[in-house]
Amino acid sequence: MKDIDEKQLISRLQDDNTRVAAFTTLVDTYKEALYWQIRRMVLSHDDADDVLQNTFIKAWTGLDSFRGDSKLSTWLYRIATNETLNFLERQRRPAVSLDEEESHVALTLQSDPYFDGDETQAQLQEAIGQLPAKQRQVFVMKYYDDMKYEDMSQVLETSVGALKASYHHAVKKICNFFDQLD
């Protein structure tokens, strides 16, 4: 992410004369980090793009309600998280077996032209894809984004202790996944 003066950007976002230019700066600053946050949850490039677009639409329409109680990044991550979880809920297929879900994750990764990872990366993504949505979100934020639990707590609106427990359970499930491959 680019370094920005957050107070100045917030001020520009609140001014009708500079709002559009400031929002462009906001998008340019956070789009890549948010994209990867979303992508690691939804797996598909096209789906991640759709969720990212919805995230920025929600941010634009919600600018007047941003009070500045949290950092812009925290506010955007919260919107992206909610949009991602809503997307995943809409995509949830009824009565799908674990084997079918595993094949769906593997096929999604294999057919994605933007995924260029090796076999181990594909297996890790498959393992992450099998986690419950909350554990997946916590794992992605901690493992890939190296986000602090305190920041995650603000984004996900849950306690640090619950986040640590979710991360621990996610790591354990991922380790078990790899143990079963041996």
The pLDDT tens digits for 116-169 are 556 777 788 888 888 888 888 889 888 887 888 988 888 888 899 999 999 999
pLDDT band at 1 (very low <50, low <70, confident <90, very high): very low
Q: pLDDT band at 93, cuts 50/70/90?
A: low
Helix (H) or strand (E) holding 41: helix 19-42
Catalogue all structural domains in the chain, each as residue range(s) with its CATH number: 1-92 (1.10.1740.10), 100-182 (1.10.10.10)
Cα(146)–Cα(69) distance, rounded to whole angstroms? 22
- CA 147 to chain CA centroid, Å, is 12
Distance between CA atoms of residues 138 and 149, nearest Å: 9
DSSP string, 59-124: HHHTGGG--SSS-HHHHHHHHHHHHHHHHHHHHPPTT--HHHHHHHHHHHHHH-TT----HHHHHH
Angle between the N-to-C axes of helices 72-91 and 19-42, in degrees from 0 to 180, rounded to the nearest 10: 40
* pLDDT given for residue 163 in this prediction: 92
Q: pTM above the 0.75 mark?
A: no
pLDDT in tens, 24-79: 999 999 999 999 989 888 878 999 999 999 999 999 999 988 877 788 988 999 99
pLDDT of 42 reads 86
Predicted local confidence at residue 95, as pLDDT: 44
